[in-house]
Amino acid sequence: MKSKITITEIAQKSGVSVSTVSRVLNNSPSVSQKKRERIQQIIDEHNYTPSVFARGMINQTTKNIGVILPDITNPYFASLFLQIESFALKNMYATLMFNTMFSRDSRRFDTHLTEEDYFKIILEKQVDGVLILGGQIDKEDIADSFIHALNQLHQHVPVVVVGSKIEGCECLFVERNLKQGVTSIVHHFIALGHDRIGFIGGEPGIRVTSSRIEAFSKAMKSLGQSVYNPYIVTSDYYAPDGYAAMIQLLDANPDRLPSAVIAHNDMVALGAIRAMKDRGVHCPEQIAIASCDQFQLSDFSIPRLTSMDQHNEYLGRMAVLQMISAINGSDETITINHSPELVIRESCGATFKSG
Amino acid sequence: MKSKITITEIAQKSGVSVSTVSRVLNNSPSVSQKKRERIQQIIDEHNYTPSVFARGMINQTTKNIGVILPDITNPYFASLFLQIESFALKNMYATLMFNTMFSRDSRRFDTHLTEEDYFKIILEKQVDGVLILGGQIDKEDIADSFIHALNQLHQHVPVVVVGSKIEGCECLFVERNLKQGVTSIVHHFIALGHDRIGFIGGEPGIRVTSSRIEAFSKAMKSLGQSVYNPYIVTSDYYAPDGYAAMIQLLDANPDRLPSAVIAHNDMVALGAIRAMKDRGVHCPEQIAIASCDQFQLSDFSIPRLTSMDQHNEYLGRMAVLQMISAINGSDETITINHSPELVIRESCGATFKSG
DNA sequence: CTGTTAGCGCGTTCAC
DNA sequence: GTGAACGCGCTAACAG
């Protein structure tokens, strides 16, 4: 392994002192044009880059940020992370990723680390900030010890979480508009003439879930519709969960099926449609489906999925922006204003009904 | 931001010298049990962790590895990366991820960085090793400048690439068995009585693609089947590409459709099935489909996808193992021996034919 | 077994 | 405009 050239050597080769080299490195104005150019040339020639170690020792920064999320295999996190990574890099920050596998579905994973263990690891990595996407932070009742650990972490580096604000947690929050999506779908279904509407998917006890179910109830009631509890089945966020939820819903209401069902996301919707097919129930003719979170394949499934485009690109960028602003010592809170957008395809039956 | 406590302070609080503290930190045997315990306790009490900067300054390591891949949003890379991240962490390495967005499909992305730019960035990050998954390395004819850059990078840190060996490239390679999967599917289709078999998906000019098409031809010929070129349509790796490829295939062979088609991966298969549906062609009755790379949703699509489980978990672990072994100065090459496994579901028509 | 000392590569005074 | 000298937190080599 060829070791890197140091500032001292550059100084020698340029016939100046290290401080002068340091000055051109940091764009200090007080260097004569001539010397600057000569030195810069030698730097380029030797492909020299300053040691991050020596640098970090002085200003205590790595230009790295840590991202903690449950599972990169989940398309929601993948698309969010992609935006985060690229936007961070544009701002000269690289990204360390940690999958906590915190989720009911991933118990199969042989990891024994808690999220608090990850906090410790990430702190040792001396990142300049940490971004938290989902996980325990989304639980309905969070262990005090977790909040405590979070606050403690936040004392060392800025922590921004993408999720709803939590009482007693001092971290920065970037909130997404969880409710508007459900509300739009309810309106859409009602407009289509549905009156028996259900909701499936999402892990119980998780705020993303309850928040959507709540928005569902509220929207229904505000339109004079009654909410029928057997039409609400929670499970989790993946396709097998949508499958299980739909089977349960079908079995529980054999002679009074819902006419439309809202799925927590596209994977849940796909699973649900699969379940219906296996039970000989047609989508959208017998039960229409729409999902609150669009993934990549919505336009290619059978039937094509009607879903909400949550504009995750925007969300990711905002999170990074908030992060950088906090790293730079600002305490300003960035408010985000994204409007989920209903994309009508086939599974909601809109074209079916109108045609 | 509360700054971290240093080794000096720990030493003072314990009433010993810094070197003694350093010794317990590094598990040096030559410290008396009593002192060791006392010091360890103080360390824990204050939640002290050594500075990565000062450490790196001396042994030139960060305990970070860099991973360069085209697009984490692609399920293949996501599942591979998940394994890499978790296995690396188990070995005390954290993972820096970079999405190059190198792919025809991602031109929409407003990035102007070439992979060589990434090499530079990653080198500055002082990672202990870099892992390369796909991208330009997979091209049929690679620019010499790329190989050169790769070799140069490899002079500084170990570089291991998951892909087929390349002439003139000094990096380490972990190869996956690309051909066996296609071969199995051909055998399966032939056994099912098909005689007009096609292949779709994969970007032309990419070795993953040509290698599979080659295996396809070879398997066909070895079974006495002739390969009909209009049945082979390349495009890319995502659902829209599968869709386009199938449309093209259908349009080009209106009165002599293939009876079975092999798709490069599940997304391509999904797109293809969608295209068939839109054209009123039934799967598997009129055209059976099977894919070479299984993703998460194969079991929930309509029809369920017959595909190859490539056991990516294993591949990811091998790559990390090879990486760590190289970091530790070993020049041993790890050979990997994974057997892709055919998972028969509905889209190949096996159950349809037999039932 | 334990303490002392000398750097590691860089940014930052402070003189010149 | 420029250079010499110091120190960041730690490990390694040496001396006791």
Share of chain B above pLDDT 70, in %: 96
**Going by DSSP bridges, is the β-strand pair B306-309/A260-263 parallel, antiparallel, or unpaired?**
unpaired
Residue by residue, what is the 3-state secondary structure of chain B?
CCCCCCHHHHHHHHCCCHHHHHHHHCCCCCCCHHHHHHHHHHHHHCCCCCCHHHHHHHHCCCCEEEEEECCCCCHHHHHHHHHHHHHHHHCCCEEEEEECCCCHHHHHCCCCCCHHHHHHHHHHCCCCEEEEECCHHHECCCCHHHHHHHHHHHHHCCEEEECCCCCCCCCEEECCCCHHHHHHHHHHHHHCCCCCEEEECCCCCEHHHHHHHHHHHHHHHHCCCCCCHHHEECCCCCHHHHHHHHHHHHHHCCCCCCCEEEECCHHHHHHHHHHHHHHCCCCCCCCEEEECCCCCCCCCCCCCCEEEECCHHHHHHHHHHHHHHHHCCCCCCCCCCCCCEEECCCCCCHHHHHC
Residue B143 tokens read as: 């620019």
Sign of the C-alpha dihedral computed for residues B181, B183, B188 and B194 taken in this order: positive
Report the pLDDT value the prediction gives residue B113, as an integer from 0 to 100: 86
Q: Answer yes or no: are the C-beta atoms of A5 and A48 closer than 8 Å.
A: yes
CATH number for the region B180-309 comes to: 3.40.50.2300
Report the pLDDT value the prediction gives residue A4, as an integer from 0 to 100: 84
Contact A297 B267 (CB under 8 A): yes
Fold for the domain defined by B64-177+312-327: Rossmann fold (3.40.50)
Mention every residue, 6+ apart, whose C-beta is less than 8 A from residue B316: B80, B81, B82, B83, B84, B87
CA-to-CA distance for B329 and A1, rounded, in angstroms? 9
* Strand D reaches within 7 A of the B52 CB: no
The 10 Å CB-count burial string (b at 16+, else e) for B55-78 is bbeeeebbbbbbbbbbbbbbbbbb
Q: Which residues of B touch A101 (CB under 8 A)?
A: 86
Report the pLDDT value the prediction gives residue A278, as an integer from 0 to 100: 97
Nucleotide D13 C1' to residue B9 CA (A): 23
Q: What is the mean pLDDT of residues A9-32?
A: 92
Condensed to tens digits (0 to 9), the pLDDT of residues B157-205 reads: 999 999 999 999 999 999 988 889 999 999 999 999 999 999 999 999 9
pLDDT over 90 (residue A113): no
**C-alpha angle B44-A143-A323 in degrees, rounded to nearest 5:** 75
Confidence of residue A129 (pLDDT cuts 50, 70, 90): very high
For residue B51, give the nearest of A126, A158, A120 by alpha carbon. A126
CA-to-CA distance for A154 and A149, rounded, in angstroms? 9
Contact B56 A52 (CB under 8 A): yes
From the list A1, A123, A273, the residue facing B156 with the nearest CB is A1
pLDDT over 50 (residue A217): yes
Q: Which residues of A touch B86 (CB under 8 A)?
A: 99, 101, 109, 111
From the list B2, B51, B304, the residue facing A156 with the nearest CB is B2
CA-to-CA distance for A13 and A25, rounded, in angstroms? 15
Q: What is the mean pLDDT of residues B252-267?
A: 97
Report the pLDDT value the prediction gives residue B355, as an integer from 0 to 100: 39
Report the pLDDT value the prediction gives residue B104, as an integer from 0 to 100: 57
- Residue A41 burial by Cβ neighbours in a 10 Å radius (0-12, 13-18, 19+): exposed
Contact B238 A296 (CB under 8 A): yes
A64-177+312-327 shares its CATH topology with A180-309: yes
- Between B3 and B127, residue with greater pLDDT: B127
Least confident stretch, A187-191, A233-237, B44-48? B44-48
Nucleotide D4 C1' to residue B214 CA (A): 67
Report the pLDDT value the prediction gives residue B242, as an integer from 0 to 100: 98
pLDDT over 90 (residue A1): no
For residue A345, give the nearest of A300, A293, A282, A280 by alpha carbon. A300
Q: Which helix (H) or strand (E) holds A334?
A: none
Identify nearest nucleotide to residue B28 by CA to C1′ distance: C1
Interface A-B: count of C-beta contacts within 8 A: 157
Chain D bases near protein CB atoms (7 A cut-off): 1-5, 7-13
Least confident stretch, A40-54, B69-83, B84-98, B327-341? B327-341
Contact A277 B57 (CB under 8 A): no
**Going by DSSP bridges, is the β-strand pair A306-309/A341-343 parallel, antiparallel, or unpaired?**
antiparallel
Report the pLDDT value the prediction gives residue A339, as an integer from 0 to 100: 87
Report the pLDDT value the prediction gives residue A105, as an integer from 0 to 100: 53
Our CA dihedral for A110, A112, A116, A118, rounded to 10 degrees, sits at -50
Q: What is the mean pLDDT of residues B14-29?
A: 93
Q: Answer yes or no: are the C-beta atoms of A288 and A281 closer than 8 Å.
A: no
Least confident stretch, A177-181, B297-301, B349-353? B349-353
Contact A94 B125 (CB under 8 A): yes
Report the pLDDT value the prediction gives residue B352, as an integer from 0 to 100: 56
Report the pLDDT value the prediction gives residue A282, as an integer from 0 to 100: 97
Distance from CA of A38 to the nearest CA of B (A): 22
From the list B56, B71, B157, the residue facing A1 with the nearest CB is B157
Nucleotide C2 C1' to residue B37 CA (A): 16
Confidence of residue B1 (pLDDT cuts 50, 70, 90): confident
* Strand D reaches within 7 A of the A17 CB: yes
Fold for the domain defined by B7-55: 434 Repressor (Amino-terminal Domain) (1.10.260)
Disruptive mutation site among B300, B302, B313, B330 for chain A (greatest number of A CBs within 10 Å): B300
Residue B281 tokens read as: 């062609």
Contact B300 A99 (CB under 8 A): no
Contact B51 A126 (CB under 8 A): yes
Condensed to tens digits (0 to 9), the pLDDT of residues B27-59 reads: 999 899 999 999 999 999 998 999 999 999 998
Identify nearest nucleotide to residue A17 by CA to C1′ distance: D3
Report the pLDDT value the prediction gives residue A99, as an integer from 0 to 100: 96
pLDDT over 70 (residue B107): no
Q: What is the mean pLDDT of residues B262-285?
A: 98
From the list A3, A82, A299, the residue facing B99 with the nearest CB is A82
Confidence of residue A330 (pLDDT cuts 50, 70, 90): confident
Contact B94 A95 (CB under 8 A): no
| The model's pTM | 0.94
Identify nearest nucleotide to residue B60 by CA to C1′ distance: C8
pLDDT over 80 (residue A355): no
Residue with minimal CA–C1' distance to C10 is A54
Least confident stretch, A192-206, A305-319, B311-325, B329-343? B329-343
Q: Which residues of B touch A158 (CB under 8 A)?
A: 1
Q: Which residues of B touch A271 (CB under 8 A)?
A: 300
Identify nearest nucleotide to residue B7 by CA to C1′ distance: D9
Q: What is the CB-side half-sphere exposure of residue A142 using CA atoms within 13 A?
A: 22
Q: Which residues of B touch A235 (CB under 8 A)?
A: none
Q: What is the mean pLDDT of residues A132-147?
A: 94
Confidence of residue B110 (pLDDT cuts 50, 70, 90): low
Name the residue ranges covered by the structural domains of chain B: 7-55, 64-177+312-327, 180-309
Q: Which residue has tokens 């989902």?
A: A134
Give the chain B residue nearest A267 (alpha carbons): B297
Nucleotide C9 C1' to residue B50 CA (A): 18
Report the pLDDT value the prediction gives residue A110, as an integer from 0 to 100: 61
Distance from CA of B244 to the nearest CA of A (A): 12
* Strand D reaches within 7 A of the B46 CB: no
From the list B124, B239, B302, the residue facing A52 with the nearest CB is B124
Residues 23-62 of A with CB under 7 A from strand D: 23, 29-32, 35, 54, 57-58
Chain C bases near protein CB atoms (7 A cut-off): 1-5, 7-13
Condensed to tens digits (0 to 9), the pLDDT of residues B319-336 reads: 999 999 999 988 888 877
Identify nearest nucleotide to residue A19 by CA to C1′ distance: D3
